[in-house]
Amino acid sequence: MEEHTTTVDKPATSRRHFIDLLLGVSVVAWLASVAYPIIRYLKPLPQTGSGGPTHLTRDEASKLEQKQFVIVPVSGQRVIVVNVQDRTCAFSAKCTHEGCTVTYLPGQSVIWCPCHDGRFDLNGRVLSGPPPRPLSQYAVNRQPDGGIVISEERA
């Protein structure tokens, strides 16, 4: 085709190229119009948690007393509340390594992720193991009636 292109043929081929280009663009646009709703459909809606501070229930509070820790949902997130002597602290219970739920080892006073042996101290800092970041901290407020409130504002 290219060998036989002459000045006379040029308008015809460029018109053909233009039509081909239009066809290509419309195919891409058509594919995009099919793909876009599917992509939006697959992306989950944002979580609609209550968002506010969470009061520990009586069950959760007694569990905290007995086991020295309890895991509770706060704004749709897992939070570990730890009771050490006179201090109560709360951290995200999601290990920063691979997202397993952490637990508390009262004997060693460390927060421990059993999946890959990550260890955190009671300030959320990494002591050992592969977690790349500290656990984020949650604010703990003791109510005058003895109730415990966990809120998302970082302490």
Partner 1 sequence: MQSIDNPTVESSSQKKEPERGAGETASGALRAWLDRRYQLTPLFDFLSHKQVPLGVHWMGWYYLGGITMFFFMVQVVTGVLLLMYYQPGEATAYESIHFLTTKVPFGWLIRSIHSWSAHLMIISLLLHMFSTMMLKAYRPPREVTWVSGYLLFLLTMGFGFSGYLLPWNKLAYFATTVGTNIVRSVPVLGNWLLEVLRGGQDVSINTLYRFFAAHVVILPLAFVAFIGLHLLLIQRQGMAPPLGEKVAPRGMRFFPSFALRDLLLWLACLMVLAALAVFLPYGPGIPGMDWELGDKADPLAPAYPGIKPEWYFLWEYQLLKEFPPHLFGLEGPQLCLFVIGILFVIWALIPWIDRRAYRDKPSPAFSDLGWAAILFLTYLTLMGWDVGAHHDAEQLTSMQEVARVCAWWTLAAGAVVILVRSWRFGHRWFILTGAALLQVILHGLIGVSYLLAGLISFVLAAIAILVLLYFRRSGADAAIST
Which positions lie near partner 1, rule CB under 8 A?
A: 42-44, 47, 71-73, 76, 78, 80, 93-94, 97-103, 113-117, 126, 130-132
Shortest spacing between CB 27 and partner 1, in angstroms: 23
77 contact partners, CB below 8 Å, separation of at least 6: 49, 92, 94, 152
Residue 99 Ramachandran class (φ > 0 left, ψ -120 to 50 alpha, else beta): left
The Cα 98–Cα 131 span in angstroms is 8
User: Smallest distance, Å, CB 19 to partner 1?
Assistant: 34
Nearer to partner 1, 24 or 114 (CB): 114
Closest to 69 (Cα-Cα) out of 103, 93, 32, 18: 103
For partner 1, the closer CB: 8 or 42: 42
Sheet strand arrangement including 137-142: 54-55, 148-151, 137-142, 87-92, 77-84, 69-74
> CB of 91: closest distance to partner 1 in angstroms?
13
Nearer to partner 1, 13 or 75 (CB): 75
Least distance to partner 1, CB of residue 138, Å: 15
Residue 6 vs 48, nearer CB to partner 1? 48
